[in-house]
Every structure is written in structure tokens, then in C-alpha cells.
Amino acid sequence: MKIALPGPDSFTSRLRGPEVAARIGVWLGICFGVAFVTGLISHAAQDTPGWLTFPTRPVSLYRITQGLHVTAGTAAVPLLLAKLWSVYPRLFDRLALHERRRLLLQLLERGSIALLVAAAIFQLATGLANSTQWYPWSFSFRSTHYAVAWVAIGSLLVHIAVKLPVIRDALTGPLENLPSPGTAPAPADGQLSRRGFLRATWLATGVAVLATAGATVPALRKVSIFAVRSGEGPQGVPINRSAEAAGVTESAAQPSYRLEIRNGKRRTLLTRADLEAMSQTMVDLPIACVEGWSAGATWSGVRVRELLALVGASTDADVEVQSLERSGAFSVTELPSHFASDDLTLLALELNGERLSVDHGYPCRIIAPDRPGVLQTKWVSHLTVLS
Ligand SMILES: Nc1nc2c(c(=O)[nH]1)N[C@H]1C(S)=C(S)[C@@H](COP(=O)(O)O)O[C@H]1N2
Ligand SMILES: [Mo]
């Protein structure tokens, strides 16, 4: 029995065509561009290279860039599906098996597109899983998502460069399959037009964005039924890792708790009452999680700079922040000097006018301007001045 492979003529939908693929491609390209740039920013915020001083203002910059990152990735999901649908019959184009040169070019083009599609699907799938805190893999999410981002953006640029003439014609020509140039598109009764298909694609993309963006845009909370976090939680702020998950429920409640501040041989121990007795500063700062949710809040507590002054630290020293949490990737973080000495950087004792709950970091937690949530260390036990 002979099995006939589908050929280009096996796919008859008139909705497909470069005109449709290019229009979706423009928006897909914008989403990938935004996700790439904001992803680089997030990477720099978490792992700042030596030549860069990550800014502390505007205080909500990271909240915006990371919200955009996750939103652009979410919007790209329906766009990518529609785009793949609009072009996949090309997979069955006949290869020019008897013309070496053409065959080589065809294989190169297919190879580059295979790389682009694989990288794009990988980025969206891992990013989406990460934003739901689901890690069904054993590799490091952050370094892999970062490395594949370069593959995705590189192969996207190659793809755009190769297709530029096709894209230009497709975008400047008429959208519908016209029987003769200039006549109005006439899809048969009850048939979806290309315009209709594109509208459905934009609608699906809009719904995907609205259904998730409430995690970071308070006005959208009510419509964001698929948001992983509502942007609300105890004391008005969601909780990422609870005290129980971090294994600190007991140690955080111990009356013997002391905050230890160290600068070389100088050290001082403070109880929570000692901290409450110091001068208190109130700041409005957001928690902006890398997973895309964020929430603004009012914090009050002691300026980190004033705590460091107790052990004679200079304002240009970096500080290591250690948590009561024993294991976990975020139990020890580093606060660069310009964050540590900033007026708005607190060891917070209160959140939205109430004593910090243990899940939000009691006895005390770091809150600093324009920092990713992962670095806003909860249940702080030691501040150590690094020389
Ligand atoms: N010690 C410690 N601090 C931590 C974490 C953690 O796992 N351990 N999670 C961080 C993350 S990822 C975020 S987004 C914020 C969330 O703070 P919240 O739970 O008070 O909203 O806490 C940060 N502080
Ligand atoms: Mo986070």
C-alpha cells in the first residue's frame, strides 16, 4: 500500500497565506521583542553584571518591566498558535531533490525555522509554567530560559531578514484573496473571511492578556480569572513562600530572636522591641515578583542605612542579608551599597499599618525600591557588611 503524503494542494483554506502570516507575525515579533528586552532587564536585576549599577528609581520600574515581560509572553501564546496554523502546510512543500543548490537553501531555511519554532515554544511553555510556579523539569529555569532567549531572538532576526521581501509584499498588498485586483473581498456566505480570522486572533490575544494581567494591574483584578495570583492576599499582598514552606514558623516566633548586624569585628544584637524603639520610616513600595504578579503596599520600619551605622559601616559597602530560612535559593541575598544606603530601603516591621505577619516576613524583612521580589528577603536574621 502506498501512503500519499499531503502536498501543498491538500490544504485548501483560503484563510491562509503570507498576508495573514505576516500580519500576525508583526505582533508576534513585537511580543518577542518586548519579552526579550524586559527579560534582559530582569536578568540584570537579579544578577547584576559588574559594569552595571541597577537603578533604584523609578521605584516601580521593575514592576512595570516584569509585568510587561509576562504579559508579552502570555499574548504571544495565541499569536504563535494562529501563526503556526497559518503556515504549517508549508512543511509539506516538495523538496527540490534533484537541484542541489535549491535543496541546500530549502534545508537551511527549514532548519532555521525549526530552530525558531522550537525556541519560541520552549520559551512560552517554560515561562508560562514558571509563572504558575510549576517546575516539571530538572534544569535551572532561569539560566535555560535566558540561554534559549538568545536562540529565539537570533533565529527570529534571521527569519525576518530572509522573509523581508515576502513580508513587505504581504503587508502592502490586499489582505483577502481577490479574484481581480481592487475588487472587494467576497467570501462566500457563512465563510470566515481573513479579516474575520485576524479579528478572532486579536480577540483571543486580548482575552489572554485581560484574563491574566490583573496579577499586576489592580484595575483588571475582577476580569483576570486566570491570573495565578490575584494581587491580593493577607495584609493586602499575596504570599509567595509561606513561613511553613520555608521552615521558619518556629524560629520566627522565638522570643530569643535577635537580629545580628556585623561589620568585621564589630557586631550588635537587636530584639524586635529594640527595632521598634528606633526611629521608624514609612514608604510606599511594590513587591514585584519575577513570576509577574505585583502589589503596591505601605511599609514601615527602620532604614537599613541607620542599622548599618550602628556598626560603623560606610555607605559604600555592599551588605549580605541572611534569613532564618536555612535552605532555599533566597535564604541569603546581597544588597548592593546603593540599595543599602537608599532612603527608601527598610528593614520593615509593619505592612499596611499592621504588624508584619509571619508569612510576610515577621520579625522583619527587607523592602527596597525597584528590586525583584526574590531579593526582598523575609525573616531576616543577619545583616553582614561585605568589605
Ligand atoms: N527568606 C525568603 N525571603 C523571600 C522569599 C523566600 O523564598 N525566602 N521569596 C521571595 C519572593 S520570590 C517574593 S516574590 C517575595 C514575596 O513577598 P511576600 O510573600 O511578602 O509577598 O518574598 C521574597 N522573600
Ligand atoms: Mo517572587
Percent of residues, the chain, with pLDDT higher than 90: 80
Q: What is the pLDDT of residue 384?
A: 98
Query: CA of 200: how far to CAs of 41, 74, 82, 125, 197, in Å?
Result: 32, 16, 10, 22, 5
Cell representation of residue 238: 499575596
Q: How far is the CA of 252 from the centre of ligand 1 (A)?
A: 15
Pocket of ligand 1 (CB under 6 A): 237-241, 246, 287, 289, 323, 325, 328, 330-331, 360-361, 373-374, 376-379
Q: For position 233, what pLDDT does the model report?
A: 77
How many angstroms is it from 373 CA to the middle of ligand 2? Answer: 5
The 10s digit of each residue's pLDDT in 205-262 is 999 999 888 888 887 877 777 776 666 678 889 998 999 999 999 999 999 999 999 9
- Ligand 2 centroid–CA 55 distance in Å is 19
Ligand 1, atom nearest to 380 Cα: 1
Q: Which ligand is nearest to the CA of 246?
A: 1
From the CA of 330, which ligand is nearest? 1
Report the alpha-carbon distance of residue 205 to residue 13 in Å, rounded.
22
Cell of 312: 560603623
DSSP-derived secondary structure letter, 373 = G
Strand partners, 72: none
Render pLDDT for 261-281 as a digit per residue (tens, 0 to 9): 999 999 999 999 999 999 999
Closest Cα to atom 8, ligand 1: which residue?
Answer: 330
Q: In the beta sheet, which residues pair with residue 284?
A: 298
Residue 273: partners with Cβ closer than 8 Å, 6 or more residues away: none
Q: What is the pLDDT of residue 63?
A: 97
Ligand 1 pocket test: pick from 235, 239, 240, 322 the residue with the most ligand atoms within 8 Å of its Cβ.
240
Among the bound ligands, the one closest to the CA of 241 = 1
Cα dihedral 205, 210, 215, 218 sign: positive
Are the CB atoms for 352 and 297 separated by under 8 Å? yes
Q: Enter the C-alpha cell of residue 311.
A: 556598626
Question: How crowded is residue 16: how many other Cβ atoms within 10 Å of its Cβ?
Answer: 19
Q: Are 17 and 194 in contact, with CB atoms under 8 Å apart?
A: yes
pLDDT tens track for 6-56? 887 889 888 999 999 999 999 999 999 999 999 999 999 999 999 999 999
pLDDT of residue 230: 63
CA of 239 to the centre of ligand 1 (A): 7
Task: State the pLDDT at residue 273.
Answer: 98
How far is 243 from 359, CA to CA, in rounded Å? Answer: 5
* Residue-wise pLDDT tens digits, 328-360: 888 999 999 999 999 999 999 999 999 999 999
Distance 238 CA to ligand 1 centre (A): 10
Instruction: For residue 148, report the distance from its CA to the centre of ligand 1, in Å.
Output: 26
127 burial (CB, 10 Å; 0-12 / 13-18 / 19+) is: buried
Q: H or E stretch including 301?
A: strand 294-303
The residue whose grid cell reads 551605622 is 309
Task: Evaluate whether 382 touches 366 at the Cβ level (below 8 Å).
Answer: no
Instruction: Kindly give, in sequence order, each residue whose CB lies less than 8 Å from that of residue 3, ignoring residues fewer than 6 positions away.
Output: none
* 153: three-class secondary structure by DSSP: helix
Between CA 185 and CA 54 the distance in angstroms is: 53
Mutate to test the pocket of ligand 1, among 376, 380, 381, 383 (most ligand atoms within 8 A of CB): 376
**Mean pLDDT score of the chain:** 93
Tell me what pLDDT residue 268 has: 98
Mutate to test the pocket of ligand 1, among 142, 322, 378 (most ligand atoms within 8 A of CB): 378
Which of 46, 135, 241 for a ligand 1 pocket mutation test, highest count of atoms within 8 Å of Cβ? 241
357, 284 Cβ separation under 8 angstroms: no
Instruction: Decide which of 369 and 132 is more confident.
Output: 369
Tally Cβ neighbours within 10 Å of residue 7: 11
Higher pLDDT, 236 or 204: 204
At 183, is the pLDDT very low, low, confident or very high (cuts 50, 70, 90)?
A: very low
Q: Are 257 and 363 in contact (CB under 8 A)?
A: yes
How far apart, in whole angstroms, are the C-alpha atoms of residue 385 and residue 387? 6
Run of H or E residues at 334: strand 332-335
Instruction: Give this prediction's pTM.
Output: 0.93
Q: Is the pLDDT of residue 181 over 70?
A: no
**H or E segment and range at residue 339:** helix 337-340
CA 146 vs. chain centroid, Å, equals 11
| pLDDT tens for each residue of 42-69 | 999 999 999 999 999 999 999 999 999 9
Q: How far is the CA of 243 from the centre of ligand 2 (A)?
A: 14
